[in-house]
Amino acid sequence: MGNDIKNELKNILNQGIFKHNPVFVLALALTPVLAVSNTIGKALGLGMTVLFIMVLSNLIVSIFKSKLSDEVMTIVTLAIVAFFVTVAEMIIQVRNIALYEDLGIYLPLTAVSGLILHRALSFSKQNNVIKSVVDGFAYGVGYLVALIIITIVRVIISTGSMTLFNMRMQLFDSVYSFDLADTAFGALLIVGLILGIFKTFQQRGETK
């Protein structure tokens, strides 16, 4: 693989995870973020599901992009995403029924996620399979990382503690916790705050 291709793939990864992070920069698919970012388990479950669907959707769309017209491709893309969402639902329901019930309506709603459809229709339709898979992986990881960061901040602020790998860490007394962070409105405030911080650091990096 030539250096030009490697650099191009690295740039795609950088775009999806950092420069155009789907949550902190593009502000896409925020409704599920606000709904499931109250526990690490739910955040990981939805984040991994989005990553799985994005990679496979981008792959299939890239393969069939030259065989169908733009109008038909849009409909086919919706069907492809819906199919992989159904597969993901079935897997989660079998492997972890508690997680399936916790994610609730936000799992099937992934089929019409603006993030997944945006990348499939804007990127995969115009690029080869390798680039499309890397793009899907990058934006999927970007979404997962953002979801985990928001969840950790929410849990710490609302409880004063954090549980990772079955180990509970008390960071400050729960008396000083901020209960509003455990609500959808509190989640929105936190997302906005982190988005602003992320954007500030990003702009500083670009000016250096």
Residue 107's SS3 state is coil
Domain that holds residue 129: 23-207
pLDDT string in tens for the chain (208-residue length)? 567 788 888 999 999 998 899 999 888 888 888 889 888 889 999 999 999 999 999 999 999 887 777 778 888 888 999 999 999 999 999 999 999 999 988 888 887 788 898 888 888 888 889 999 999 999 999 999 999 999 999 988 888 877 766 777 777 777 677 787 888 888 888 888 888 888 888 777 666 6
Residue at 125 is within a domain: yes
Residue at 168 is within a domain: yes
Residue at 149 is within a domain: yes
Per the structure, how many domains does the chain have? 1
Residue 20's SS3 state is coil
Residue at 17 is within a domain: no
For 91, 172, 173, 186, the CA distances from 176, given in Å and listed in that order, are 40, 7, 6, 16
Residue at 2 is within a domain: no
For 1, 25, 91, 129, 139, the CA distances from 118, given in Å and listed in that order, are 28, 14, 25, 17, 11
Residue at 167 is within a domain: yes
